[in-house]
Structure 1
């Protein structure tokens, strides 16, 4: 294996693990110390503004409806999510963030924003473009290789 490939592999693995660890530590140290990273990502998938169905959220997270049902049950108990059956079709369950859930969402979004700002600080516009292209290529590889349904753009739009 070439030196470049070895270094890139180490950087990607370390960065992925570090992000997860830093997110967990930030949650534990903050006002939302009762949330796991997985729960925070569930909150993120629910989104801020409109109620979503359980099916929409489970699809966005690439998890089963049963797994999401358990996660939502915990988030409801903790006061981050509200759940309501559809009046038209009782089989459909709508979920949305409570005031507490929206605050957690905003703080998590700021965490990611600060992380990205720190990443590109000091880079030229050209270097930023190269970084974006390299990460898009990596993201496309994972999406194609593992048949992940949603692109980052689709998730951001939700």
Structure 2
């Protein structure tokens, strides 16, 4: 059991690091060289819908609205995102992707699609439930994790 623990731990740590590094190399291409991997995840959280506001996006990213404001200012300046005040409630600010932002979003989505496709192509129908159970356990850990103080 100790060998299994060590192997799984090593694979998970390496996989997380490799995904982060490879994703940055894959999605921050010449066309999108003016943004960071974090910017791309803000773009992803805004999405292609029409009704994202700052609070909704911050909640998706599990960050404060203040932290998001800094990233959003940069993305607006670089013309990936535009802000629009609600006509019914001027306190509400909607954020929407520009055409440039939509291109970045679709580019990022394509990377994720390719990654998922490779995994699914290697599994048979009996293996898929095991992967799903494993991913559910990881999701449960990450969403419920509270750092020790």
TM-score, structure 2 normalization: 0.91
Q: Which residue of structure 2 lines up, in the alignment, with residue 132 of structure 1?
A: 132
Q: Which runs of 4+ in 1 moved over 4 A?
A: none
Q: Which residue of structure 1 lines up, in the alignment, with residue 101 of structure 2?
A: 101
Which ranges in structure 2 are unaligned for 5 or more consecutive residues?
A: none
Q: Which residue of structure 1 lines up, in the alignment, with residue 23 of structure 2?
A: 23
Moved more, 2-11 or 79-88: 79-88
Indicate the SS of the match to 1:96.
strand
Moved more, 114-123 or 68-77: 114-123
- Asked whether the 8 Å contact 1:27–1:36 carries over to 2, the reply is no
1:52-92, CA deviations, whole angstroms, 9 ceiling, x for partnerless residues? 11111111111111111111110011111010122232221
Equivalent-residue separation in structure 2 for 1:31 and 1:46 (angstroms): 20
- Asked whether the 8 Å contact 2:58–2:68 carries over to 1, the reply is yes
Which ranges in structure 1 are unaligned for 5 or more consecutive residues?
A: 148-158
1:24-39 equivalence runs, <5 A = 24-39=24-39
RMSD of aligned residue pairs (Cα, Å): 1.6
Q: Which residue of structure 2 lines up, in the alignment, with residue 116 of structure 1?
A: 116
TM-score, structure 1 normalization: 0.86
In the TM superposition, residue 141 of structure 1 has moved relative to its aligned partner by: 2.2
